[in-house]
Each structure stands twice: as C-alpha cells, then as structure tokens.
Chains A and B, each alone.
Chain A
Amino acid sequence: MARIAFAWELGGELGHAMACNALARVLHGRGHRIAFIFRELHQLSFLTDTAAYDIFQAPVSVSEGHGVPIPASFAEILAGCGYDRPEHLAGLLGAWIALLDRCKPDIVVSDFSPTALLAARILGLRRASFGNGFSIPPRLTPLPAFRFDQPVPPERVAQADARALASVNGALARFAAAPLATLAEQFETDEDFLNTFPELDAYGVRPEAGYWGPRLSVDAGATVHWPAGTGKRVLVYLKRDLPALDALIDALARGPHRVAAFIPELEGARRERLAGPARIVSQQPMRLAPLLGECDLFVSQGGNVSVGTLMSGVPQLVFPSQYEQYLTARRLEQIGAGSWLAPDAPPQAVAQALERALLEPRYAAAAKAFARRYPKYSAPEQQRRMVLRIEEIVTRPSRWPALPRPGATPILTPT
C-alpha cells in the first residue's frame, strides 16, 4: 500500500478535480492511501467517494493573476502565480515542503502543480505529471511559447524564462538546495502522463510515445437518459458565469432540440428557464458515456471534458473562456471537429452557431474521422496502465536524491 498525493495548484476547472478523482478512485480501490491537495476545495462537493481521503489546501498565491494579462509561455504563467519574487515563491515552496514532508507520500501526482514538483524535488520524492499538454510543458530551454495564433518574439520567451528561473533559484537558495541550470529541470518527473492527443496538444505534436490519451472518465457521474422525442441531442457542459450562457439557454429553450445539461451551481431561475420536457438539467456531473453514444453536439468551454469526449466522434461547439481553452478550441477548429465562439458572443451569434453546428455535416464527419484515427484507444486500458505505472514507480526506490534535512548528521563527525 502506497501513499499517493494528488496536487492541483493552478488552473480553475472542475475538470482537474474530476480527473484526479477518477484515477484516485481506482488507486484507492487497490488499497492505496489518497491525499488530495487542491487549490479549490469547493469542487469536492461534486466528487463522490472521497470520504476516506485526506484533503489539504494547495499553497497558492493570494495575488494570483496579477502577472502577464495573456501569457505566451509557462514561465509567463508562473510570473503571475508567486514566481514574481524569490521571497514570495519561497513562502509557497516552504508551504508545499511542510505539507509533503508531513504527509510523506510515496509519489506526488502533479496536476498543473509546478511548485509541488519543485518541493518534491527538494524532498527527493517520486513524482509524475498528470494533465493535458498545456499543463506539462516540453522540457526545452527556454520553455517554449504555446501561443500559435500570433508570433511571440523569442526574446520575450527567453526573458520570462530567465526571470522565473531567477526566482526559482533565489527560493531554492533559501532551502540550501542546489540551483537549477534550466527552468525545464523543474518539470523532471518519473513519468509524464501527457493526457491528450497529439492533435490537441497546446504545444503542438511531441514524440508520439509520450501521449497517454485524454484523461476524462466518461463512466463517472449520475446516470441521465436522453428525453424521448425526435429533436437533435445537445449535451451541455458549461460554467454558470459564462457570459453567453443566457443566450444559449434562450436559444435551446426556444428550439426543438433535446438537451442534457450540467452547469454546476446553476441558479434556480435559470435552471427553470432551461429545463423542460425535452431538456434535462442535471445538478450533478453526468455519466457521459451513454449520452455521447447518441449525441449530435457537445457544447463546452474547451476544458478537459472537450478533449476527453473527442473519441466519441461527436462534433463540438466551444466557448473558450481562458487561454488554455482558446488553444483547445483552435486545435478543434484545425481538425474540423468543432467551431468556437467568444465567451461573450451576442445572442444572435450564439443561436446561429448552434444551428450551424447541428446542421452542417462537415463537423460530424470530421469528428467521426478523428475518432477512427485511434481505433485501439480504450479508456479502461489507459487507466489500467496508468495505475500499473504508478504502482511500478512507487515500488522502486526513488531515483531522486533527498537533500539532507535540518538536524541531519554532519558529513564530518569527530569522535
């Protein structure tokens, strides 16, 4: 039995919590002890079967987001998440070290958790990255830009990298840890569970051997059936603060389509506007597999759920609400399996895009063609292998040297 800590430090979506929970459930079932170290604790209320887990707050910066408005590289994301000053980062890093040193996990599974990886490095803990392409940067120097919609000057990328590295090394010095030669070293792991498709990778295609496929569990959640009828079937997974949500609710409520929707914590009044004989509004995450089996359109904001449902061959309509989602939306557009709209698109545009996505056969054709590209992909098999890989890592001695802890025996001890 191993102690397995899931760390989720950056990125604010239910998808992170859901993905960690799906993997943790299997590991827990095999007798391992689970700790969730999460940035957003309210997401626990949407997860089932976590009662036996230890739950901790992930150290996150109070001034998060005061960095670069539209980041172009991982280093620019870090700038707004506590990596602005060595002192601030040292506080966050110290909090991760304090927690991990007390929990003593056999492995840290890092979901978008760069500082947890750094703490695990200092403690000599085994560690794995677990996420989509955006959260696991290629280990290059400098960490490359992920923006592909417009050119990013190389010097901007290099400067951001150097600044973040200076903060990291300034913080490491406070822990008497050796400096990193490159920021990429921070992301060294025992395994990268790169849970996406090469075609959807924010950084473009990397060597194929590294891809594990999407990490969405389509078999978890409340069982919901499509309402009876003849309308097209529209599956909706959105957040209630999406500016275009009211326009979409109105368009769906006016139209003949059948709807199954999960919009976490949707207010009663808006739920009533959307719900109807042909339209189900679930208050819990829905089990997606049976719904996707006969679905005409999947509407989301382009998070994990969007990549995760791609293998079902269902076309998508995406309202990307932050940069990572925007990159996913653009990749979907590239492969032809979906279209996207600005998160604050006006009502008429929303209604038109909805009809077009349902009527134009090219989206469905491209989505089906994409699903046929990986005929042997199996989500259960992927999960089985990830679990086996984690168990393989934890049964071997850690390959990472731990720093001597305060109070350790000095190297020279006179007798």
Chain B
Amino acid sequence: MARVLCAWEFGGDLGHIRRLIPIALELRASGHEVCVAFRDSAFLESARAEGFEAFIAPLLRAPRMASQSPLSFSDILLNLGYDDARSLAGALRAWRSFYELVAPDVVVADYAPTALIAAREARIRRVTVGSGFSSPPLRDPLPALRPWIATDTNVLRALDDRLAASVRAALGAASRPLEPARELFEADAHLVCTFAEIDPFGPRDDVEYPGPQADGIAGPSIEWNTDDATRVFAYLKPRDPRFDAVLAGLRALDAEVIVAAPGLAAELARAASTPRMRVVGAPVNLDPLLARATLCVSHAGPGLAARALAAGVPMALLPQQLEQFLIARRIAAGGSAAMLSPEDAAPDFVAWLAALVARNDLREAAARNARAHRHHSFADATKSAAARISAVAAS
C-alpha cells in the first residue's frame, strides 16, 4: 500500500477540504497511509479529527503588490507570492524536507503548485485535483483567463517567463534547466472534480473528469415546509456587498425561501428570518433542498453549481471572483441560469428574482441538465478519484 500526501496551498472557503478529505478517507479505506498538509490553520483540526496526521503547508510571504486582474495562471501565482524568489526558495526547501520526512509515494495537490514543483524536483508521483480553475490547460504560453478579451501572446509568454525565472532562482543551482512554465505543473494525472461543461477551461482532453463529489461535510438538515409554493434556496456570503439587497429581494418573493449564509451571526440570521424565509448562518445539507427547489441563488461556487446543475434547478448567479465568474458564464451560456457580474449595477432584486422564477426557458434548460447527468453518482466520483490516485501510486 502507498503513502499519500494530500496538499492544499491556495484558495479559501470550504471547497478544497470538502474535496480532499473525502478522497483522503476513501484512500485510507482502501488501505493507503494518508496524511494532509493545509495552509489554512483553521481547517487542520477537521482533518485531524478524521484521524489524519495534519501538517501545516509551507507558506509564501504575501506580496507587497498584486495585479487586480491577473491575466493567466502564471499571473495568479506571481500575485500569490511567486515573484519573491527568497520566499519561494524557503517554501520549496521546506517542502523538500517535508517530503523526506513523510516519504510520500504520491502527492495529491489541490491548488498546491509549490507542492507540485517540489514533488517534481524530488521525482515523486503527483496528481492534481480541483474544479478546473487551479489546473489550467498546460499550453505554451499558459492561456489567458478571459478568452473574450484579446490578450497578446507575448504578454502571456512574458508572465510565464517571469514565473519560470523566479522558480529557477528559487530552486538554485540544483534545478533542472529552464523550461516553459507549463512543465512545472505537469502531473501523472489531472482530476477535474466537476462536470466538463462547468470546468472553467473545459471540456478538454488532457484531464480526467471524475465529476463532482458528495459533500465531505454535511451541515444541518433543513426541509422545505410547503409543497405547492415556489421554493427558492440561496447560498450567500454575508460579506458580499449585495447581500442585504439580495436578502430583501428574496424576502419580497411570493415563495418559501431558505438562505444559508455561512458566517452570519446567529442573531442577525434570526433577525433576517420571516415566517416564509429561514436564514441560517451555516452551511446546510444541500440534497433535500435542491431536490425540490425552483430556483437556486448562489455565487456560482463550483460545488454548489454542479449539484444544482445535476438536480435540474435553474440558477441566479452572483459570482464574486474570477473562478466563479467563469463557471457562471458557462452555466448561463447553457441556458439554465442568469448571472450578474460583480461590476454590473445592482438591479431591483425583487423584480430580477421574480422574473427568473417565472422563466420557462431556464426551467427547460435545467431539466435537460438533470437528464444529462442522471447517471452521475456523487459518491462514486470520490471513489473513482481515489482509485485513479491509487493507480498512479502503484504505477
């Protein structure tokens, strides 16, 4: 049996551990020895409570300046601290010592590019997992993130070169000769744990699609109270500047509404609730809600978007950042969602939401999605991702 390290370096929110911990559990159930390395100390205990050795991942120093609209994956990494060869050199050294300590046979990298580069140097097998955004197509140069805006190839190549030069400087004399940036992120398998049509870079041939997984962490179960009314489920971040306006819009709908707003204080959640609208300040169990929802309002996070897609629920999408924007754009193009980008002027949310509830075209497109994915098993997705990792470990 193999030793597997599951690493997560960048990206916030619960999505990464909801993907990694079920995979880690599945790998352990098949007899592998698994440990995890996370950058976010707040999530270490959830892994340890499952019985995993949970290490902190080596950290990069936050850059002094970052570009507001990164053009490519290279640009994103430069923004995350890769421009700083001193810091990157330290982190790569720490990954190297860490690999010597835990001797993994395979590194599973969920948005963990430094873990990937260090594993490449140490000639350790590696698998990337994610929802697509963190494993971009490995072309030369790495592609523009906004294909609808013309981006000069030379600009992209210059970003790749800056990234590769910084990595080379950080690795020092022992590193392999300079290669295109894309080679740094090559792996034995790239597992995109979502549907191909909402992979921000998909569909594509050079990755595998185990599809979206079951939730690793189930929240409290809430049930719909009514049978006949319109039922709207919303999953919103309380810090979003549009939060209060959206909540007011939801409250005015002639519908039963359930709002999950993780992080919202209990007293604020209570105050925002009405007899027909329940607001909870925590993640909730999605399955019973999506099964009977007539509209799902969210920021187009990859996990919820995939589940709503498979459940055949029309969506109102309010992406907060680029990854969500790319996902929302794809779902909207497929016909089952309307979206508002962060730059769009806030509409009258009462009218906007009421109109979406009434739209037949959204419902029909959503029903087509449900039919297309009716054979997808969320539980089996975790199993097939774990099986693929096992196969890489055994290869």
Whether A associates with B in a native complex is yes
Chain B interface residue bracket vs A: 20 to 34
Q: Which residues of A contact B57 (CB under 8 A)?
A: 57
Q: Which of A55, A87, A95 has the most CB of B within 10 A?
A: A95
Cα distance A61–B44 in the bound complex, in angstroms: 10
CB closest chain-A residue, reference B90: A41
B40 close to A40 (CB less than 8 A):
no
CA distance A99 to B54 in the complex (A): 9
Whether a CB of chain B sits under 8 angstroms from the CB of A336 is: no
A44-B89, A91-B42, A94-B54 known; A57+B59 contact, CB < 8 A: yes
What string of 1s and 0s marks CB contacts (under 8 Å) between B92-107 and chain A? 0110111011100000
Contact B41 A41, beta carbon cutoff 8 Å: no
Binary B-proximity of A326-349 (CB < 8 A = 1, otherwise 0): 000000000000000000000000
A371–B61 alpha-carbon span in the complex (Å) = 38
B45, A91: Cβ atoms under 8 Å? Answer: yes
Give the contacting residue for B86; candidates A88, A95, A265; CB below 8 A: A265
Min C-beta distance of A242 to chain B, whole Å: 14
Q: Which residues from B are CB-within-8-Å of A45?
A: 86, 89-90
With A41-B93, A56-B98, A103-B101 known to touch, is A95 a contact of B41 (CB < 8 Å)? yes
List A contacts of B101 (CB < 8 A). 54, 56, 99, 102-103
CA gap between A38 and B56 in the complex, in Å? 12
Supposing A41-B87, A43-B90, A57-B57 touch, asked if A63 and B97 sit within 8 A by C-beta, the answer is no
Q: How far is the CA of A61 from the CA of B40 in the complex (A)?
A: 7
Bitwise, B32-43 to A at CB < 8 A (1) or not (0) is 000100011111
CA distance A384 to B186 in the complex (A): 49
- Contact of A144 with B by CB under 8 A: no
The answer, yes or no, to whether A82 is at the interface (CB within 8 Å) is yes
- Cα distance, A38 to B94, chains bound together (Å): 9
Q: Mark A76-113, 1 if CB is under 8 A from B, else 0.
A: 00000010000110111011001100110000000000
| A42 and B44 contacting across the interface, CB-CB below 8 Å | no
Q: Is B91 an interface residue (CB 8 A)?
A: yes
Q: Are B45 and A90 in contact (CB under 8 A)?
A: yes
Contact A91–B87 (Cβ < 8 Å): no
Q: Is the Cβ of A60 less than 8 Å from the Cβ of B61?
A: no
Cross-chain contact A55 with B39 (CB below 8 angstroms): no
CB distance from A323 to the nearest CB of B (A): 21
Write the nearest CB–CB distance from A28 to chain B, whole angstroms: 15
Contacts of A174 in B (CB 8 A): 45, 49
Most A CB within 10 A of own CB, among B57, B87, B100: B87
Bound Cα distance A60, B98 (Å): 16
Cβ–Cβ < 8 Å partners of B55 in chain A: 59, 95, 98-99
- Contact across chains for B41 and A60 when beta carbons are under 8 A apart: yes
Complex CA gap A110/B102 in Å reads 23
Asked whether A62 and B42 contact (CB < 8 A) given A41-B59, A44-B90, the answer is yes
List A contacts of B102 (CB < 8 A): 102
Q: How far is the CA of A94 from the CA of B48 in the complex (A)?
A: 7
Q: Which residues of A contact B56 (CB under 8 A)?
A: 57-60, 92, 95
Assess whether A62 is in contact with B90, with CB atoms less than 8 Å apart: no
For residue A102, which residues in chain B have a CB less than 8 angstroms away from its CB? 53, 101-102
Measured CA separation A91–B43 after assembly (Å): 7
A43 (CB) vs chain B CBs: closest residue: B90
Chain A CB within 8 A of B58 CB: yes
Query: How many Å lie between the Cα of A58 and that of B86 in the bound state?
Result: 17
Write the nearest CB–CB distance from B326 to chain A, whole angstroms: 26
CA distance A87 to B102 in the complex (A): 25
In the complex, are the beta carbons of B44 and A94 less than 8 A apart? Answer: yes
Q: Which of B53, B84, B90, B100 makes the CB contact (< 8 A) with A98?
A: B53
B97 contacts A55, C-beta separation under 8 Å: yes
A30-52, CB under 8 A of B: which get 1 and which 0? Answer: 00000100101111110000000
Whether the Cβ atoms of B89 and A92 lie closer than 8 Å is no
Q: In the complex, which residue of chain A has the Cβ closest to the Cβ of B170?
A: A45
Q: Which A residues, 171 to 223, have Cβ-Cβ distances below 8 Å to chain B?
A: 174
Q: Could you tell me the distance between the alpha carbons of A162 and B90 in the complex, rounded to whole angstroms?
A: 37
Residues in B whose Cβ lies below 8 Å from that of A56: 58, 94, 97-98, 101
Is the CB–CB distance between B35 and A62 below 8 Å? Answer: no
Q: Is the CB–CB distance between A91 and B97 below 8 Å?
A: no
Which of A55, A62, A82, A265 is within 8 Å of B94, CB to CB?
A: A55
A98 and B41 within 8 A (CB): no
* Nearest neighbor of B91 in chain A, beta-carbon distance: A41
B58 and A92 contacting across the interface, CB-CB below 8 Å: no
* Closest partner residue, chain B, to A241 (CB atom): B64
Question: Across the interface, which residues of B come within 8 angstroms of A62, CB to CB?
Answer: 39-42
Cα distance A296–B43 when bound, in Å? 51
Q: Judging by beta carbons under 8 Å apart, are B44 and A95 in contact?
A: yes
Can you list 25 residue pairs at the A/B interface with Cβ under 8 Å? A42-B84, A42-B86, A42-B89, A44-B93, A45-B89, A54-B100, A55-B97, A57-B57, A57-B91, A59-B41, A60-B41, A60-B56, A60-B59, A61-B41, A61-B42, A62-B39, A91-B44, A91-B48, A92-B41, A95-B44, A98-B54, A99-B55, A102-B102, A103-B101, A174-B45
Q: Knowing that A62-B41, A63-B41, A94-B44 are A-B contacts, what are 6 other residue pairs whose CB atoms are under 8 Å apart, sorted by A's residue number?
A: A42-B87, A44-B89, A45-B89, A56-B101, A91-B45, A98-B53
